[in-house]
């Protein structure tokens, strides 16, 4: 069974939902920001929140924590890493994902359901989806406007590194090219601003997010 | 001897700066006219023994060079 590790920082707040979401498709445990190793997990999911208070700049300080040093080594060896919301911000600041997240155009914390289109289904995070499949998950953030300089953006588009886009009319934060989620060139590190971990049970209106976790679990290649 | 440094960090030219726009749009309402190109950034003050480290410090932590420009101003403490 695939084992998920969820690094928790002071100021994280979505680690419990992430733990529960991962537990539906595998085994999951929390890691602490001071941990120097990842306890042998198969997949790392960096959760949302306000790690280290989001001081200085969102996601700026966590890359220097012991657990993130271990995550960087894990990613360099090809390990699967997903960052959600603040986790996405942390992975861009850590240099594991291209681009940066800027304040929403409306300058407001915004919490709403968004429709996303799966743009690339040939990645470990999305291989269980149909091409251009549409999913509904919540988004809740203040700093989620994806940005990449033109040259980088063109390369991301050409290489299929844009994995999720906001559906028409759903790009509330002003992200360039409607980008909601990206991956690295090697396609083992992923980040998205919306929250699939809050959409894993029909009780909350949508369970569309679960398939991202089950895709990761099956891609990890760990026998059940 | 420690050197006092001020690091000014501002959004890169050409990147949409909604904070700057909001301030710019608020000023006329208070009767201030003829104000343009308003940008809002951050200021970091510090004292440092070896100022040659400042550049690398800005690149690695104080600013995100992808989205921000920085300027270092030093004076003897």
Phi-psi category of residue A49: left, alpha or beta, with phi > 0 → left and psi -120 to 50 → alpha = left
Query: For the segment B51-66, what is each residue's pLDDT rounded down to a tens digit?
Result: 999 999 999 999 999 9
Q: What is the pLDDT of residue B76?
A: 66
Spatial separation of the C-alpha atoms in residues A104 and A110, rounded to whole Å:
9
Query: For the segment B12-45, what is each residue's pLDDT rounded down to a tens digit?
Result: 998 999 999 999 999 999 999 999 999 999 999 9
Which class is domain B3-76? alpha beta
Q: What is the CATH number of the domain that holds A55?
A: 3.40.50.880
- Is the Cβ of B25 closer than 8 Å to some Cβ of chain A? no
Do A127 and A96 contact (CB within 8 A), yes or no?
no
Q: What is the pLDDT of residue A221?
A: 81
The answer, yes or no, to whether residue A34 has pLDDT greater than 90, is yes
Provide the residue range defining the domain that includes A160. 3-219
- Rounded mean pLDDT, A3-31: 98
**Residue-wise burial string across B68-77, b where 16 or more C-beta atoms lie within 10 A, e elsewhere:** bbbeeeeeee
Nearest-Cα distance to chain B for A167, in Å, is 22
Whether residue A107 and residue B66 make contact (CB cut-off 8 A), yes or no, is no
The answer, yes or no, to whether residue A118 has pLDDT greater than 80, is yes
Q: What is the pLDDT of residue B56?
A: 97
Nearest-Cα distance to chain B for A129, in Å, is 32
Task: Answer yes or no: pTM beyond 0.90.
Answer: yes
Q: Which residues of A touch B13 (CB under 8 A)?
A: none
- Rounded mean pLDDT, A205-209: 97
Q: What is the pLDDT of residue A145?
A: 98
Is residue A224 included in any domain, yes or no?
no
The answer, yes or no, to whether residue A192 has pLDDT greater than 90, is yes
Tally of domains in chain A: 1
- Is the Cβ of A105 closer than 8 Å to some Cβ of chain B? yes
Query: For the segment A135-153, what is each residue's pLDDT rounded down to a tens digit?
Result: 999 999 999 999 999 999 9
DSSP A57-93: STTSSGGGSHHHHHHHHHHHTT-EEEEETHHHHHHHH
Mean pLDDT of chain A: 97
The answer, yes or no, to whether residue A33 has pLDDT greater than 90, is yes
3 state DSSP class of B40:
coil
Query: Higher model confidence: residue A224 or residue A121?
Result: A121
In chain B, what are the domain boundaries?
3-76
Q: What is the pLDDT of residue A38?
A: 98
- Is the Cβ of B16 closer than 8 Å to some Cβ of chain A? yes
Is residue A130 included in any domain, yes or no?
yes
The answer, yes or no, to whether residue A72 has pLDDT greater than 60, is yes
The answer, yes or no, to whether residue A224 has pLDDT greater than 80, is no
The answer, yes or no, to whether residue A180 has pLDDT greater than 80, is yes
3 state DSSP class of A111:
strand
Whether residue B62 and residue A56 make contact (CB cut-off 8 A), yes or no, is yes
Is residue A119 included in any domain, yes or no?
yes
Q: What is the pLDDT of residue A222?
A: 74
Q: Which residues of A touch B42 (CB under 8 A)?
A: 56
């Amino acid at each position: 069974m695939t084992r998920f590790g969820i690094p928790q920082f002071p100021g994280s707040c979505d680690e419990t939902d992430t733990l529960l979401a991962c537990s539906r498709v595998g085994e999951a445990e929390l890691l602490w920001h001071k941990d120097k190793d990842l306890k042998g997990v198969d997949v790392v999911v960096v959760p949302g929140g306000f790690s280290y208070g989001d001081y200085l700049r969102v996601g700026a300080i966590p890359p220097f924590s012991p657990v993130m040093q271990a995550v960087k080594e894990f990613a360099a060896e090809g390990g699967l890493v997903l960052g959600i919301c603040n986790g996405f911000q942390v992975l861009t600041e850590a240099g594991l994902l291209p681009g940066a997240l800027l304040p929403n155009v409306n300058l407001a914390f915004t919490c709403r359901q968004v429709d996303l289109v799966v743009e690339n289904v040939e990645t470990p995070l999305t291989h269980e989806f149909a091409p251009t499949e549409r999913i509904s998950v919540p988004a809740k953030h203040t700093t989620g406007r994806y940005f990449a300089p033109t040259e980088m953006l063109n390369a991301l588009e050409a290489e299929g590194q844009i994995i999720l886009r906001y559906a028409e009319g759903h790009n509330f934060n002003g992200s360039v090219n409607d980008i909601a989620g990206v991956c690295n060139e090697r396609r083992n590190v992923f980040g998205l601003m919306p929250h699939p971990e809050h959409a894993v049970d029909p009780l909350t209106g949508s369970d569309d997010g679960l398939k991202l976790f089950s895709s990761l679990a099956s891609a990890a290649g760990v026998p059940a | 001897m420690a050197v006092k440094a001020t690091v000014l960090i501002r959004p890169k030219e050409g990147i949409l700066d909604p904070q700057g726009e909001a301030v710019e749009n608020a000023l006329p309402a208070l009767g201030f006219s003829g104000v343009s190109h308003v940008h809002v950034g951050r200021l970091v003050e510090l004292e440092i023994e070896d100022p040659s480290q400042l550049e690398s410090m800005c690149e690695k932590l104080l600013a995100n060079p992808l989205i921000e420009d920085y300027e270092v101003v030093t004076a003897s403490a």
